[in-house]
């Protein structure tokens, strides 16, 4: 959880995250789902007209509470992503 604020707005590779914390891939995937359920963050998948491009690009991770992010650019991108996600899910 402490590694996730620095990865906001960047493509999220669960395999790279798995290598950083040295656990099994299924464990990282399970933890990410749990963090989404407790409203710590959410994953946005890329959108493209070509379905092959959507499958190749990795999703991005965003936090619901953007005050944890130190970088002002990433914080602003996270703020926009939260409001767009809220707008789409209403």
- Record the tokens describing residue 23, joined without a space: 């656990």
- The reported pLDDT for the residue numbered 64 is 93
The predicted structure's pLDDT at residue 57:
80
Residues (pLDDT < 70) of the chain are 53-54
Ramachandran class of 8: left when φ > 0, alpha when ψ lies in -120 to 50, beta otherwise: beta
3-state secondary structure of 53: helix
Alpha-carbon gap, residue 20 to 28, rounded angstroms: 11
What pTM was estimated for this model as a whole?
0.82
Range of the domain at 15: 5-89
Q: For the domain that residue 42 is a member of, what is the CATH number? A: 1.10.10
Tokens of 90: 């209403």
Domains identified in the chain, total number: 1
pLDDT value at residue 54: 67
Q: Which one-letter DSSP state was computed for residue 38? A: T
């Amino acid at each position: 959880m402490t590694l996730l604020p620095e990865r906001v707005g960047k493509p999220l590779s669960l395999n790279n995250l798995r290598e950083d914390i040295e656990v099994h891939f299924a464990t990282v995937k399970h933890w990410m789902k749990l963090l989404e359920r407790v409203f710590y963050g959410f994953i946005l998948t890329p959108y493209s007209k070509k379905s092959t491009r959507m499958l190749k690009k990795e999703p991005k991770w965003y936090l619901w509470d953007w005050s944890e992010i130190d970088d002002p650019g990433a914080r602003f991108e996270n703020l926009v992503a939260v409001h767009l996600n809220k707008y789409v899910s209403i």
